[in-house]
A and B are shown apart, each in its own frame.
Chain A
Amino acid sequence: MAKKKLTTVAKAPKVKLSPRDAKTAERLTGLADRVVSAANNRKDPYVEIPSRTLANVHYSPRKKIIEMGNATNRRQLFDLSQAKAYMRTMLVTSGCKKLIDQGKSTSLRGLFYMLKHTIEGVKENTFDEQGECDTIIEDVEVLLSSIREELHLYAENRGAMVGAITFTDKGDEINCAKMGSGGYAIPSIVEPEVVVFDKAKCKAKFILHVEKGTVWQRFNEDRFWEKHNCILTHGSGQPPRGVRRMLHRLHNELELPLYCVLDNDPWGYYIYSVIKQGSINLAFESQRMAIPEAKYLGLRSIDFERCQLSDSVKISLNDTDRKRAKQVAQYPWFEKKPKWQTEIKKMLSNDFKLEVESLISKDISYVTEEYVPTRLREQDWLD
């Protein structure tokens, strides 16, 4: 086997598996057993993988989240186009089983290296790029309805938070009010086994989520969270699962409302949509991640006039942007909201987009001292 990249996680290698791990291991073994029984019966082994496409997700108006449908894709070993994918699925299965058995966890890239090797007799690798491995991991997640964390896998840390809250992470106390300029890096696994909240230790009244690190820096430098008594987070663009899960837990367990400050472009709208309703690709995790009550604070397409910005901050829309905007407008969760329709139409008629940084043209701290406080005060947001 290829070299292993094991990262030490404060979890003692026990012979006895935790109940959660035992359940996951059982599911993995079940997958392998089905191959054996198919082979015994002279049948093609196959797996039914729930389909992770737009066609197989639907919006639940009641729960206000995206849910995955029942459609599945059959992946067969004896199908020319699927044989390799099938083999990879089995490799990932065995890799995860090994991690669980040894009580260790690894990064996605770690697993990629763990499973990557040259197939015997041919000049072909099991995996050539990490992306190939990552999609298979997602397949296995939906296949076993076990999330990544249960498979002992984690992603790179992305996103940061500061604010008036103290919690424990793997037993260490984290005081988010004393995080300096860098903030607390949100880990990819923020499950209750790792991150434990204490309601008493949270003084924050709401969460402000901004799109990018640079904007977040602005807010942090201005000690926005201190003045307004909130938690400040960012997700480096499209927020990774760790950030979304963190927001979800903060929102639900500590009952903190969530406000988002994102760019005024289709991409910003989409980020909001993902935070609020869940993503198509990870629809199976919407339940654990989506925050239907999240509010969209800005930037709005009316801000160009409202804040009297100069012409120089406009970035004209390109064809992809226009197309994307129309797609977003047609999402079921936006379709029936006149305010959102007006918002998107306004942007299209503006024919330009605005980044949050554009507010700096007014004043360096305009966004933290003027823009956001005003919106919050006036309760001027989109839902």
Chain B
Amino acid sequence: MATRKPIKKRSVPATATKKKAPPAASAAKRKAAPKVAEVSPEESPGADEAAAEDDSAGDEAAATAKSTGRRATAQSMASKQRDISVSEFFAKNRHLLGFDNPRKALLTTIKEAVDNSLDACEEAGILPEIWVHIEQTSTDRYKIGVQDNGPGIVKKQIPLIFGKLLYGSKFHRLRQSRGQQGIGISAAGMYGVQTTGKPVKIISRISPKKPAHYYEIQIDTKRNEPKILNGAGEGVDIAYGEKGAKDIEKHGIEWVDQPHGTRVTIELEAKYIRGRGSVDEYLHQTAIANPHITLHYTDPEGNVREYQRAADKLPPEPKEILPHPYGVELGRLAAMLAEAEGMSITQFLSTKFSRVSPAVAKKICTTAKVSPRAMTRKLGRPEAEALYHAIQATKIAPPATDCICPIGEELLLKGLYQVVPGEFYAAATRPPSVYRGNPFQIEVALAYGGAAATQNVDKDLLEDLIEETDARTIRQFLVSTFNGLGTDAADRIMKAASLGTRQAPKQLKPKERQRLLDAMQNVNVAEGQTMEVMRYANRVPLQFQQAACAITQTITSTNWRSYGLSQSRGGMPKGPVYIMVHIASVWVPFTSESKEAIASYPEIQKEIRLGLQAVGRKLGMYVRKRMRVKQQGDRRDIFMRYLKEVASAVSEVNGVDRDGLYNQLLTVAKRVTADADMKLDDRGRKIKEPSEETDFGENVLIVDPKTHAAAIKRGPAAVAVAEGE
């Protein structure tokens, strides 16, 4: 019965085994669960029971085998049945952890390392600064290094954290954090060792006064134990300062000198590809959702991209909470009952769960027809079941939601503004809500109008950009220079400029440059562009399985037409829009073990929809207003165009002074299109104070795309993204 606990909480190994194990190995499969439980420091009292169950199952099998004359007997099979180590299991099934292909392996490794670093920094109350370095060592091998300025790890723990699967601090608590399992980084290390044979190298320093520790670790997959390779199994200490730096260099790793922090270096078989689902995208999106971090990223081509922090305050520390009774399943409840020593039912309910007062506990007991003073140990399965149903039938206050730390509307805006080009930004943080007893909170932010950067380029700037770029083709130049410009739009620009795909930007003749400039200004790059969705769970970007995710599903089922965007039925809305949706929860319901898509709970979908609608309404107001301004501008243009014609026609008929009449008509035109005039005056700056005319409510940012630094990526090497306004 207690086996339910690991199955539930460690959904990774348990469900995975269920799927993979052939029927004959069912006994072995059962063994796998207790083995996992062994890893946890507390003893699992259910292990014996599980073993007993196995025995009885074996007897049954043997009985049937005798009567039908099977190929193997229960005894012969029993000799082959043995423990499977978690690490062995994952070594064979590495796709479950996101190491399906070399490309994804690179991303997963970086992701796990960065997530761990961020969690560590935040828990220690340090503003995170992260260095990511990817280096190509041979055609299909990359060396990645991730360093943080976190608290560091004490010497004794380093090998365990990096060299043992399912070892960590985050699993046994109900608290909002990026990592949940304690598998990630050690699995990445294991993958690296398996594919390249190179050990995982870790440097960690906990204080400037103490030397840093340096370890080279391999994971012993058979035993799920770390194997330390250097310093005769003890690791080595590295002194502070000059001497230490030399040592570090000798080991072929880097270390940005910091008073405290950790650097992990893994060499692995991988493939570096830009675009969707890439490391670049992951870091980019991470920077948006975590405006309090500073990120230095060196890609395999040596380009450095820096993301400066937009906020100097850490997000508040998430609180750990007790589980809410609604979210507890029968098996887990039974296990908890068995674990609770010397407690009455009422005590048990009110101390082990949140939001259960003694009065509520009593009510549950009455409904379940169990004596409130009965000792937990004495309760059997039927009583547990009765209790379980009673809990579901009793009205209990929703769980405390202060354990969740949303990013916050202001920081969402800042983060988005810094990284995504646009002219209109809006954000909405929904109040916390609950699904299946787990509190969660939805945040939505939106950036609109980001694709027009090509239109804001003048001749000089284009010359500069062409000078700075190292792109080999014009298409590459356009795509890499203008943030948010897709290859489709780039192709359209090139077609309009009648330039060849293979032409190098630097070799363009002046005439061709002019054509390119004209095309950039005339091609509507927003045409055919669909909404870009960025999904986050506890500040971690989700990059795969977009279609399976509750976020995507809710976006497509929301009607965006009423917010001024075009949308085909059940499709993504069209237009230059970026939208980010963040779900923060103590337990994010993923559809699968690889944490790539959110499960579609109706409560979650409802909250997402409300959040989308909140930003959508503001977007609608802005789009309509912009359209109005544009229309007025168009009107002005059209009138201007015809006024001269009218004036000369009239003067030909009645001989009136042509220019005099023209000027008079011009005055009338100006009066009629006064609205557009007002806008024209404001050009070059913020278009309008939002509060003056249209009340967008709070948390809206309107900028002039012409002056937006994020819109154009300058040069091949680092140009830091400017600080927020």
Type the 1/0 row for A29-66, where 1 means its CB is closer than 8 Å to any CB of B: 10111011011101111000000000000000000000
**Contact status of A80 and B652, CB under 8 A, knowing A91-B645, A119-B642:** no
Find the B residue at minimum CB distance from A81. B638
Chain A residues with CB under 8 Å of B631's CB are 80
A122 surroundings in chain B (CB, below 8 A): 641
For residue B664, CB closer than 8 A to chain A, the reply is: yes
Which A residue's beta carbon lies closest to that of B642?
A87
Q: Which positions 632-658 of chain B face chain A at CB distance < 8 Å?
A: 634-635, 638-639, 641-646, 648-650, 652-654, 656
Q: Is the CB of B653 within 8 A of A32?
A: yes
State the Cβ distance, B549 to closest chain A Cβ, in Å: 44
A36: chain B residues within 8 A (beta carbon): 650, 654, 656, 661
Name the segment of A11-19, A92-100, A197-205, A223-231 touching the other chain. A92-100
What bracket does the count of chain A residues touching chain B fall in? 20 to 34
User: Are A35 and B661 touching (Cβ within 8 A)?
Assistant: yes
Whether A78 is near chain B, meaning CB under 8 Å from some CB there, is: yes
Q: Please judge, given known A-B contacts A36-B654, A42-B671, whether A77 and B638 are in contact too, CB under 8 Å.
A: no
A83 and B645 contact, Cβ closer than 8 Å, known pairs A36-B650, A40-B664, A90-B650: no
**Docked complex Cα distance between A124 and B642 (Å):** 10
CB of A50 to closest CB in B, whole Å: 21
Residues of A within 8 A of B634 (CB): 80
Q: A36-B661, A78-B668 are in contact. Are A94 and B652 (CB under 8 A)?
A: yes
Judge whether A180 is part of the interface by a CB distance below 8 angstroms: no
A86 within 8 A of B: yes
A86/B654 contact (C-beta < 8 A), A40-B664, A42-B667, A44-B672 known:
no
Name the one of A29, A43, A77 contacting B639, with C-beta atoms under 8 angstroms: A77
Cα-based distance from A242 to B652 in the complex (angstroms)? 30
- What are the residues of chain A within 8 A of B646 when measuring CB–CB? 35, 45, 77, 86-87, 90
- Bound-state CA distance A150–B446 (Å) is 64
- Compute how far the CA of A94 lies from the CA of B648 in the bound complex, rounded to whole angstroms: 9
**Residue of B whose beta carbon sits closest to that of A34:** B650
Cβ contact within 8 Å between B644 and A120: yes
Q: How far is the CA of A47 from the CA of B634 in the complex (A)?
A: 23
CA gap between A120 and B639 in the complex, in Å:
13
User: Do the beta carbons of A29 and B672 come within 8 Å of each other?
Assistant: no
Question: Counting CB contacts under 8 A, is B379 at the interface?
Answer: no
Is B669's beta carbon under 8 Å from chain A?
yes
Q: Does B687 contact A (CB under 8 A)?
A: no
Residue of B nearest to A85 (CB): B642
Which residues on B sit within 8 Å (CB–CB) of A39?
661, 664-665, 668
Produce 1/0 per residue, A105-125, CB < 8 A to B. 000000000000001111010
CB B653 to nearest CB in A, in angstroms, measures: 4
Q: Given A77-B639, A94-B649, A32 and B668 touching (CB < 8 A)? A: no
In the complex, A126 has a CB within 8 A of chain B:
yes
Residues of chain A within 8 A of B642, CB atoms compared: 77, 83-84, 86-87, 119
Q: A42-B668, A77-B665 are in contact. Are A35 and B650 (CB under 8 A)?
A: yes
Contact B671 A93 (CB under 8 A): no
Q: B-side binding surface: helix, strand, loop or mixed? A: helix
> Are B654 and A124 within 8 A (Cβ)?
no
Q: Which residues of A contact B656 (CB under 8 A)?
A: 32, 36
Q: Mark B253-286, 1 if CB is under 8 A from A, else 0.
A: 0000000000000000000000000000000000
Tell me the nearest residue of chain A to B643, going by C-beta. Answer: A77
Q: Taking the nearest CB of chain A, how far is it from the CB of B647, in angstroms?
A: 9
From the candidates A31, A44, A78, A86, name the one contacting B653 in the complex (CB within 8 A). Answer: A31
Among B631, B639, B654, B656, max chain A CB count under 10 A is at B654
A193 to B474, CA, bound (A): 71
- Nearest A residue to B663 via CB reads A39
A91 CA to B638 CA, complexed, in Å: 16
The CA-CA distance from A119 to B647 in the complex, in Å, is: 13
Chain A residues contacting B648 (CB-CB under 8 Å) are: 94
Which of A35, A40, A77 is packed against the most chain B CB atoms within 10 Å? A35
The smallest beta-carbon distance between B722 and chain A, in angstroms, is 38
Q: A80-B635, A120-B644 are in contact. Are A43 and B668 (CB under 8 A)?
A: yes
B632 to chain A, nearest CB (A): 10
Considering the complex, give the chain A residue whose CB is closest to the CB of B665.
Answer: A39
Contacts of A124 in B (CB 8 A): 641
Report the nearest A residue to B640, measured CB to CB: A121
**CB within 8 Å for A119 and B641 given contacts A36-B661, A77-B665, A80-B635:** yes
User: Taking CB as reference atom, which chain A residue is nearest B664?
Assistant: A39
The residues of B that contact A40 with a CB separation of less than 8 Å are 664
Residues in chain A near residue B672, CB distance under 8 A: 44, 78
CA distance A27 to B127 in the complex (A): 82
Indicate if A151 sits at the interface (CB-CB under 8 A). no
| Interface mask (B606-641 → A, CB under 8 Å = 1, otherwise 0) | 000000000000000000000000010011001101
Asked, given contacts A43-B668, A90-B649, whether A32 binds B654 with beta carbons under 8 Å apart, the answer is yes
Within 8 Å of chain B (Cβ to Cβ): is A189?
Answer: no
A300 to chain B, nearest CB (A): 52
Q: Would A91 and B644 be within 8 Å (CB), given that A29-B654, A32-B654, A44-B668 are in contact?
A: no
Q: Which residues of B contact A80 (CB under 8 A)?
A: 631, 634-635, 638
B635 (CB) vs chain A CBs: closest residue? A80
Which residue of A38, A43, A84, A91 contacts B649 across the interface (Cβ within 8 Å)? A91
A78 & B639 in contact (Cβ 8 Å cutoff): yes
A43–B668 Cα distance when bound, in Å, is 7
Q: How far is the CA of A98 from the CA of B650 in the complex (A)?
A: 12
Residue of A nearest to B662 (CB): A39
Q: Is A28 an interface residue (CB 8 A)?
A: yes
**Min CB distance, B131 to chain A, in Å?**
54
Q: A31-B653, A80-B635 are in contact. Are A90 and B667 (CB under 8 A)?
A: no
A80 to B634, CA, bound (A): 9
The distance in angstroms between the C-alpha atoms of A42 and B672, with both chains bound, is 10
Give complex CA distance A308, B49 in Å: 105
Interchain nearest-CB distance for A291 vs B (Å) = 36
Tell me the minimal C-beta distance from B629 to chain A in angstroms: 14
Contact check, B650 vs A32: say whether CB atoms are below 8 A apart: yes
With both chains docked as a complex, state the minimum distance between the C-beta of A232 and any C-beta of chain B, in angstroms.
44
A-side contacts of B638, CB under 8 Å: 80, 83-84
- Which chain B residues border A91 with CB–CB below 8 Å? 645, 649
* A-B pairs with beta carbons under 8 Å apart, 13 shown: A35-B650, A36-B650, A36-B656, A43-B668, A78-B668, A80-B631, A80-B634, A83-B638, A83-B639, A86-B642, A94-B650, A119-B645, A126-B645
Binding site for B on A (CB under 8 A): 28-29, 31-33, 35-36, 38-40, 42-45, 77-78, 80, 83-84, 86-87, 90-91, 93-94, 97-98, 119-122, 124, 126
Chain B residues packing against A (C-beta within 8 Å): 631, 634-635, 638-639, 641-646, 648-650, 652-654, 656, 661, 664-665, 667-669, 671-673
Other A-B pairs, 13, CB within 8 Å; known A78-B668, A122-B641: A32-B649, A36-B650, A39-B668, A42-B664, A77-B642, A83-B638, A83-B639, A86-B642, A87-B642, A87-B645, A87-B646, A91-B649, A94-B648
